[in-house]
Copies of this chain bind each other. A is one copy, B any other.
Amino acid sequence: MTRPNQAQPPTAPSSATVIIVDDDAGIRSSLDSLFRSVGLETRLFGSPAELLGGSLPNGPGCIVLDVRLPGVSGLDLQSQLIRQGISYPIIFMTGHGDIPMSVRAMKAGAVDFLSKPFRDQDMLDAVTAALERDAQHRAEAATKEDIRTQYETLTAREREVMAHVTAGLMNKQVAALIGLSEITVKIHRGNVMRKMGVRSLADLVRKAEALGVSQPRRTTDQT
Protein backbone atom coordinates (compact mmCIF):
# COMPACT_ATOMS: atom_id res chain seq x y z
CA MET A 1 0.00 0.00 0.00
CA THR A 2 1.91 3.03 -1.17
CA ARG A 3 0.45 6.43 -0.64
CA PRO A 4 0.68 8.19 -3.99
CA ASN A 5 -1.20 11.27 -2.77
CA GLN A 6 1.02 13.07 -0.33
CA ALA A 7 0.79 16.54 -1.81
CA GLN A 8 -2.83 17.29 -1.15
CA PRO A 9 -4.65 20.26 0.30
CA PRO A 10 -4.37 20.05 4.09
CA THR A 11 -8.12 19.82 4.52
CA ALA A 12 -8.34 16.64 2.43
CA PRO A 13 -9.61 13.74 4.54
CA SER A 14 -6.64 11.55 3.56
CA SER A 15 -4.22 13.75 5.48
CA ALA A 16 -6.21 13.50 8.70
CA THR A 17 -5.37 11.33 11.67
CA VAL A 18 -7.74 9.14 13.61
CA ILE A 19 -6.69 8.65 17.20
CA ILE A 20 -7.91 5.31 18.44
CA VAL A 21 -8.16 4.61 22.16
CA ASP A 22 -9.26 1.13 23.18
CA ASP A 23 -7.87 -1.42 25.59
CA ASP A 24 -8.69 -4.30 23.28
CA ALA A 25 -5.80 -4.87 20.89
CA GLY A 26 -8.07 -6.66 18.46
CA ILE A 27 -10.40 -3.68 18.20
CA ARG A 28 -7.47 -1.31 17.78
CA SER A 29 -6.10 -3.43 15.00
CA SER A 30 -9.33 -3.76 13.08
CA LEU A 31 -10.12 -0.05 13.39
CA ASP A 32 -6.57 0.68 12.26
CA SER A 33 -7.15 -1.39 9.12
CA LEU A 34 -10.53 0.16 8.51
CA PHE A 35 -9.28 3.72 8.64
CA ARG A 36 -6.10 3.04 6.70
CA SER A 37 -8.15 1.40 3.97
CA VAL A 38 -9.77 4.75 3.29
CA GLY A 39 -6.50 6.67 3.34
CA LEU A 40 -6.56 7.98 6.90
CA GLU A 41 -3.57 8.09 9.23
CA THR A 42 -3.99 6.42 12.62
CA ARG A 43 -2.54 6.58 16.10
CA LEU A 44 -3.24 3.76 18.51
CA PHE A 45 -3.47 3.96 22.29
CA GLY A 46 -4.40 1.31 24.81
CA SER A 47 -5.36 3.66 27.62
CA PRO A 48 -6.08 7.31 28.41
CA ALA A 49 -2.71 7.53 30.17
CA GLU A 50 -0.91 6.56 26.98
CA LEU A 51 -2.82 9.18 25.06
CA LEU A 52 -2.14 11.94 27.58
CA GLY A 53 1.48 10.88 27.89
CA GLY A 54 2.16 10.54 24.19
CA SER A 55 2.37 13.37 21.73
CA LEU A 56 -0.68 14.18 19.72
CA PRO A 57 -0.50 15.07 16.05
CA ASN A 58 -0.88 18.72 15.18
CA GLY A 59 -2.91 18.26 12.04
CA PRO A 60 -6.60 17.63 11.53
CA GLY A 61 -8.10 14.53 13.03
CA CYS A 62 -10.56 13.06 15.48
CA ILE A 63 -10.65 10.64 18.37
CA VAL A 64 -12.38 7.27 18.49
CA LEU A 65 -12.75 6.31 22.09
CA ASP A 66 -14.04 3.35 24.06
CA VAL A 67 -16.17 4.44 27.00
CA ARG A 68 -14.91 1.72 29.29
CA LEU A 69 -11.18 2.14 29.65
CA PRO A 70 -8.52 1.19 32.21
CA GLY A 71 -7.93 4.02 34.67
CA VAL A 72 -9.98 7.01 33.60
CA SER A 73 -13.27 6.36 31.85
CA GLY A 74 -13.85 7.60 28.34
CA LEU A 75 -16.26 10.24 29.56
CA ASP A 76 -13.75 11.51 32.11
CA LEU A 77 -11.11 11.60 29.42
CA GLN A 78 -13.49 13.67 27.34
CA SER A 79 -13.86 16.26 30.11
CA GLN A 80 -10.14 16.24 30.68
CA LEU A 81 -9.36 16.86 27.02
CA ILE A 82 -11.87 19.69 26.92
CA ARG A 83 -10.26 21.26 29.98
CA GLN A 84 -6.86 20.96 28.34
CA GLY A 85 -8.11 22.71 25.23
CA ILE A 86 -7.61 19.64 23.06
CA SER A 87 -10.50 19.97 20.73
CA TYR A 88 -10.49 16.89 18.55
CA PRO A 89 -14.05 15.77 17.94
CA ILE A 90 -14.77 12.55 19.78
CA ILE A 91 -16.65 9.45 18.67
CA PHE A 92 -17.51 7.03 21.45
CA MET A 93 -17.80 3.27 21.22
CA THR A 94 -19.24 1.03 23.86
CA GLY A 95 -19.99 -2.59 24.47
CA HIS A 96 -22.14 -2.13 27.54
CA GLY A 97 -23.31 1.44 27.42
CA ASP A 98 -26.61 2.81 28.53
CA ILE A 99 -28.73 5.79 27.60
CA PRO A 100 -27.59 8.18 30.37
CA MET A 101 -24.01 7.52 29.34
CA SER A 102 -24.69 8.30 25.70
CA VAL A 103 -26.68 11.39 26.58
CA ARG A 104 -23.93 12.68 28.82
CA ALA A 105 -21.37 12.15 26.07
CA MET A 106 -23.48 13.88 23.45
CA LYS A 107 -24.22 16.79 25.79
CA ALA A 108 -20.48 17.21 26.26
CA GLY A 109 -20.08 17.55 22.53
CA ALA A 110 -19.40 14.05 21.23
CA VAL A 111 -19.99 13.62 17.53
CA ASP A 112 -21.46 10.16 17.83
CA PHE A 113 -21.91 7.26 20.21
CA LEU A 114 -21.79 3.81 18.64
CA SER A 115 -22.74 0.55 20.31
CA LYS A 116 -20.51 -2.42 19.63
CA PRO A 117 -20.76 -4.20 17.39
CA PHE A 118 -21.24 -1.47 14.82
CA ARG A 119 -21.09 -1.60 11.06
CA ASP A 120 -17.87 -0.36 9.50
CA GLN A 121 -19.86 2.05 7.41
CA ASP A 122 -21.45 3.63 10.48
CA MET A 123 -18.03 4.21 11.96
CA LEU A 124 -16.71 5.69 8.73
CA ASP A 125 -19.72 7.97 8.49
CA ALA A 126 -19.15 9.13 12.04
CA VAL A 127 -15.48 9.76 11.36
CA THR A 128 -16.31 11.70 8.22
CA ALA A 129 -18.69 13.88 10.19
CA ALA A 130 -16.10 14.34 12.92
CA LEU A 131 -13.38 15.33 10.47
CA GLU A 132 -15.73 17.82 8.85
CA ARG A 133 -16.47 19.33 12.21
CA ASP A 134 -12.76 19.45 12.98
CA ALA A 135 -11.95 21.13 9.67
CA GLN A 136 -14.61 23.74 10.31
CA HIS A 137 -13.35 24.34 13.81
CA ARG A 138 -9.75 24.61 12.59
CA ALA A 139 -10.61 27.11 9.90
CA GLU A 140 -12.38 29.33 12.42
CA ALA A 141 -9.62 28.97 14.97
CA ALA A 142 -6.96 29.83 12.40
CA THR A 143 -8.77 32.98 11.32
CA LYS A 144 -9.25 34.05 14.90
CA GLU A 145 -5.66 33.29 15.74
CA ASP A 146 -4.41 35.49 12.91
CA ILE A 147 -6.53 38.36 14.14
CA ARG A 148 -5.36 37.87 17.70
CA THR A 149 -1.75 37.89 16.58
CA GLN A 150 -2.29 41.25 14.96
CA TYR A 151 -4.14 42.54 18.01
CA GLU A 152 -1.23 41.60 20.23
CA THR A 153 1.06 43.98 18.35
CA LEU A 154 -1.08 46.88 19.56
CA THR A 155 0.02 48.97 22.51
CA ALA A 156 -2.30 49.49 25.46
CA ARG A 157 -3.35 52.90 24.22
CA GLU A 158 -4.00 51.65 20.74
CA ARG A 159 -6.24 48.90 22.08
CA GLU A 160 -8.13 51.44 24.11
CA VAL A 161 -8.65 53.64 21.09
CA MET A 162 -9.63 50.64 18.98
CA ALA A 163 -12.30 49.64 21.45
CA HIS A 164 -13.90 53.06 21.44
CA VAL A 165 -13.58 53.61 17.72
CA THR A 166 -15.18 50.26 16.91
CA ALA A 167 -17.90 51.10 19.40
CA GLY A 168 -18.84 53.93 17.06
CA LEU A 169 -17.40 56.95 18.84
CA MET A 170 -15.94 59.87 16.93
CA ASN A 171 -12.30 60.78 17.40
CA LYS A 172 -13.17 63.78 19.52
CA GLN A 173 -15.40 61.70 21.76
CA VAL A 174 -12.66 59.15 22.26
CA ALA A 175 -10.26 61.99 23.03
CA ALA A 176 -12.55 63.47 25.67
CA LEU A 177 -13.25 60.04 27.13
CA ILE A 178 -9.67 59.08 27.77
CA GLY A 179 -8.29 62.57 28.23
CA LEU A 180 -6.29 63.12 25.07
CA SER A 181 -6.25 65.60 22.24
CA GLU A 182 -8.05 64.64 19.07
CA ILE A 183 -4.85 64.58 17.04
CA THR A 184 -3.32 61.97 19.32
CA VAL A 185 -6.38 59.78 18.94
CA LYS A 186 -6.03 60.11 15.18
CA ILE A 187 -2.44 58.90 15.37
CA HIS A 188 -3.36 55.90 17.50
CA ARG A 189 -6.26 55.17 15.21
CA GLY A 190 -3.98 55.22 12.19
CA ASN A 191 -1.59 52.85 13.94
CA VAL A 192 -4.46 50.52 14.77
CA MET A 193 -5.59 50.39 11.15
CA ARG A 194 -2.09 49.65 9.96
CA LYS A 195 -1.27 47.02 12.59
CA MET A 196 -4.61 45.27 12.23
CA GLY A 197 -4.11 45.09 8.49
CA VAL A 198 -7.33 46.80 7.50
CA ARG A 199 -8.06 49.77 5.32
CA SER A 200 -11.64 50.42 6.29
CA LEU A 201 -13.45 50.96 9.56
CA ALA A 202 -15.92 48.27 8.52
CA ASP A 203 -13.22 45.62 8.47
CA LEU A 204 -11.82 46.86 11.76
CA VAL A 205 -15.25 46.51 13.34
CA ARG A 206 -15.51 42.94 12.09
CA LYS A 207 -12.12 42.06 13.53
CA ALA A 208 -13.03 43.70 16.81
CA GLU A 209 -16.20 41.64 16.92
CA ALA A 210 -14.23 38.46 16.29
CA LEU A 211 -11.98 39.42 19.19
CA GLY A 212 -14.83 40.31 21.48
CA VAL A 213 -13.41 43.79 21.91
CA SER A 214 -15.64 46.91 22.01
CA GLN A 215 -18.92 47.50 23.77
CA PRO A 216 -21.88 47.45 21.30
CA ARG A 217 -23.33 50.67 22.82
CA ARG A 218 -26.80 52.12 22.75
CA THR A 219 -27.52 53.84 19.43
CA THR A 220 -31.19 53.12 18.95
CA ASP A 221 -32.89 56.07 17.27
CA GLN A 222 -33.93 59.15 19.24
CA THR A 223 -31.93 61.07 21.81
Contacts and interface: CB of A to CB of B under 8 A. Distances in A.
A206 interface: yes
A201 interface: yes
Interface string A92-103: 001001111011
Contact of A206 (B103, B197, B209): B209
Interface in A150-192: 165-169
A202 B201 CA distance: 7
Interface size class of A (residues with CB under 8 A): 20 to 34
B197 A221 contact: yes
User: So how many copies of this chain end up in the complex?
Assistant: 2
A205 B209 CA distance: 10
A221 to B, nearest CB: 5
A83 interface: no
Interface of A: 94, 97-100, 102-103, 106-107, 112-113, 115, 165-169, 197-203, 205-206, 209, 214, 216-217, 219-221
